[in-house]
Each structure stands twice: as structure tokens, then as C-alpha cells.
Amino acid sequence: MTPRLQHQAEEAATSPRSRRALLAGSVGNFIEWYEFGVYGYFATIIAANFFTPDGGSDAEGLVKTYASFALAFFFRPIGAAFFGRLGDRMGRRPVLIIVILLMTGATTLIGVLPTYATVGAAAPWLLTLLRIVQGLSAGGEFGGAVSIMTEFAPRGRRGLYGSWQSFTVALGLLAGAGIAAVLAGALSEVQLHDWGWRLPFLLTLPLGLIALWLRLKLEETPSFRRARGEKAPSPTPEAAAKQAGAGTPAPPAPVREQARAIALGAGRLMGWSAAGYTFLVVLPSYLQNTLDATFQQALVATVLANLGFAASIIPAGVLSDRVGRRAVMTAGAVLVALLAFPLMHVLQDSGASTTAKGVAVFVAGAVVGLMAGPGPAMLAEMFPTSARYTGLGLAYSLSNAVFSGCAGLIITEVIERTGNIDIPAYYVVVTCVVSAVALLTLRGDDHRRALRD
């Protein structure tokens, strides 16, 4: 990037236009994770209403609920590939408008779905269909949101800008937990199971309309405009000389190179995906079904975990702008692996004080935030502009499909079969160790380099 273009990018990043882009990217991500959090927090209630036929056990219904949860995640890579391709060709703005419409519509419809008691076996199928639509739209959300955040950011601040994507994950999960806690306190158990669980899903409609308004005002990023300009029929003298010296022009991002980068990116995110969902979303059901906690106690624990997560994300992103993504994210993965069993044993100890358990879940969330803060910028730096939306979206979606979407299903099913209540810790440790190894392949100076055009 020439000094003039770098100066233009930095000016854009500090302008109101850039701040609007940051907000427009964040709000859609907030809605996505608010809904996924609500679904996780109300998993036991959804299981009773949609997935447990007469005579079915609570564990059976919960496993089926998490299977639907996982299915939506497995459609994320499809959405990332489809919408990412559109976003790399058409631009970030139009695709982000489409995905927020899909997400808002599907989530709102969940709030009015008939239950198993009303329409029988059609109920879980209808819910699963809407979860698939959510998965497709969520797959297209991350790549576009992170692209606009990091492409508007000046060099040296991408970690900060990208960390807002992860921060809105925490805000979305906290909002979902807060709504669930309010409803649990204001409604009776019968009311909550009968109709109260619908309210958080219906709330998505006004939130989605706000997000749509912000995205309609969004402009394309400087990086995308430059990349589109570079494809013009008459190249600049510098570009022509470069092509002449390189011989036959090659695609800017060969398929094989992209595939390697996507696989490596997914590996680097593995620990974040697994630990994040284990500690931040699956925790309520684990506490209720395995440790006999009440719904309110489980929600309080989840709120504390998400507060720890939120508190560390932006500082971690800022720190990664100074010392590098590799150092901060690797430290996070190693700390999660070292602390997983001790933290889990505190929760399992009936003699441990409430304060000790609160500190344990707060710390669990905070160490996950060390990986989540620099993660979006790290991914954006792996791909050129012509493939960034697709590449980082697929890496993130694949990692989440396997290690987040399956977290609840794997943990619940394995505990049910083995009776081993340490399964969440084993799951987190193994994934974080693999992730730490993948993170060590990062270059230490990636945070100082310009994004690839």
C-alpha cells in the first residue's frame, strides 16, 4: 500500500463514516449471538416443548435440542461460502443487508411456532427448518462484519476494530441471559414453559429493523473499492509492470492456497470455539442437568462467565496490536487448557462458596476472551481482499460448526453414556492444545503489516 492510500485509509477509519460501519457490522453480530444464546439458555424448555414425545426422558429431549442446535451450525459453512462469494464480488454492503433480513425473519418466526403438543411431529421439523435458515444467514454475517471492521481500520488498530465483533458476541450472549433471567424472575415456571420463552425471540424483530436501517446507510470499504478498481481494463503503469515481470498472470488467491488458509484458520480458532461455547452457552444446561442447579442459578453463573468474557476482549485486541496476535491468542489457549479442570472442579464441589464459584466462571470467560479479542483481525490478515469475506467466513464457520455447534451435543451425550462429569474439561483441554499448536505458526509481525489487497 502506498503512503497516500494508507493515509486515505486512516482518514476513513477515523471519520464518522467509519464509525457507522463499525456499528453496522456490530449490530448484526449482536442479534445473531443474542438469538444463539437465548436458544442455548432455554434449551431445556425448548426440549420439553418441541423434542420430547410422551414418555421421552429430559436427557433425550435435550440431546435432540442440541442436535438441532448443531445442525444450524453445520449450515454456517454453506452460508459462508455462498454469501462470502457474493460479498467478494458484489460488495460487503448488499450481502450484509440480505443476511440480516434472513436472520431477523427466521428468529422472529421461532417465537410464533406451534409446539409438539399442538402439531405433533411437525413442530421439531419446523423449528429445525428455521434453525437452518439462521445457520445460513449467520454463515454470511461473520465474514462481512469482520471485513468491514478491519478494512476500515487503520494499520496498527485492526486488533481493536476486529475485537468489536467478539465484544458484540459477549453483549449478545449477555443480553440473552439478561432477558432469560428477567423472565425467570417475573414469570412462574408454568408461564415460562407455556409462552414466556417466546418473548426473547419476538424481541429480535425491532432489533433487526434497527440493524437494517444502519446497513442501508453503510458504504463500501476502501479495500473493496480499491480491489474493484484494480480489475479495470486499463491497469496502472505500476500494475502493468508488475504483471509483465511476473509472466502469465495468476489468480490473486489460488483455490489451493485459500483451502490451506481456511483449514489453518479453523485450527487456530478451535480452542476459542470449543471453550467459548462450553463456558458461555452450554454451561446452564450442564449445571442444571448434571449438577442439579436451578434455572436461576445456572443463568447467574452464565452471566458471570459472559461478563468475564466481555471484560477481556477489547483489552486483548488492543494488546495484540502491540505485541502480536500470536502471543495473546496462544497465551489464551494455554491458560484455558491449564485452568479447565480446576475451574470445573470448583463448580462441582458442593462445599465451595458461592463467591468461589462466581470467580471460577468469571475467570473461565475471561481467558476465552484472550483468544476472541485478536481472533477476527488474525483471520482478516490471512486473506486478500478478493477472498477475505469468503475465506475468513469459512474458517470461522467450519470451526464453529464442528467445535461450537457440537459442544452441547457431545458433552450431554457423553456424560449421559459415561457418567463422567469432567467431560466439559476434557473437551476444552484437547481443543485448546491443538489450537495452541496451530497458533504458533503465526508470524509475529502480522499485526504490523497492511491487509493484502
Q: Which of 4-13, 165-174, 268-277 has the highest mean pLDDT?
A: 268-277
Least confident of 37-41, 378-382, 444-448: 37-41
Q: What is the pLDDT of residue 63?
A: 67
Q: What is the pLDDT of residue 268?
A: 95
The CA-atom distances, in angstroms, between 368 and each of 91, 127, 177, 362 are 32, 30, 18, 10
pLDDT, tens only, 219-256: 888 888 887 775 433 344 344 334 333 333 334 557 78
DSSP symbols for 87-123: HHHH-HHHHHHHHHHHHHHHHHHHTT---HHHHTTHH
Ramachandran assignment for 341, one of left (phi > 0), alpha (psi -120 to 50 degrees), beta (any other) = alpha
Q: What is the pLDDT of residue 289?
A: 73
Q: What is the pLDDT of residue 64?
A: 67
Please determine, for residue 1, whether its predicted confidence score (pLDDT) is greater than 50: no
d(CA 112, CA 411): 30
pTM: predicted TM-score of the whole model, two decimal places? 0.80
Which is higher by pLDDT, 92 or 412?
92
pLDDT, tens only, 279-331: 887 777 777 777 777 777 787 888 888 899 999 999 999 999 999 999 999 99
Percent of the chain with pLDDT over 90: 36
Please determine, for residue 87, whether its predicted confidence score (pLDDT) is greater than 70: yes
Q: What is the pLDDT of residue 440?
A: 94
Q: What is the mean pLDDT of residues 110-120?
A: 88
Which residue, 290, 408, 52, is CA-closest to 298?
290
Q: What is the pLDDT of residue 54?
A: 59
What's the mean pLDDT when you consider all of the chain? 83
Q: What is the pLDDT of residue 253?
A: 54
Domain residue ranges of the chain, discontinuous segments joined by +: 10-225+255-448
Q: What is the pLDDT of residue 162?
A: 92
Cα-trace Rg, the chain: 22
Which residue, 16, 56, 47, is CA-closest to 285?
47
For the chain, give the number of residues. 453
Q: Which of 167-181, 225-239, 400-414 has the highest mean pLDDT?
A: 167-181
Quick one: CATH architecture of 10-225+255-448? Answer: Up-down Bundle (1.20)
> Is 381 in contact with 451 (CB distance < 8 Å)?
yes
Q: What is the mean pLDDT of residues 26-41?
A: 82
Q: What is the mean pLDDT of residues 59-68?
A: 66
Q: What is the pLDDT of residue 25?
A: 84
Please determine, for residue 176, whether its predicted confidence score (pLDDT) is greater than 90: no
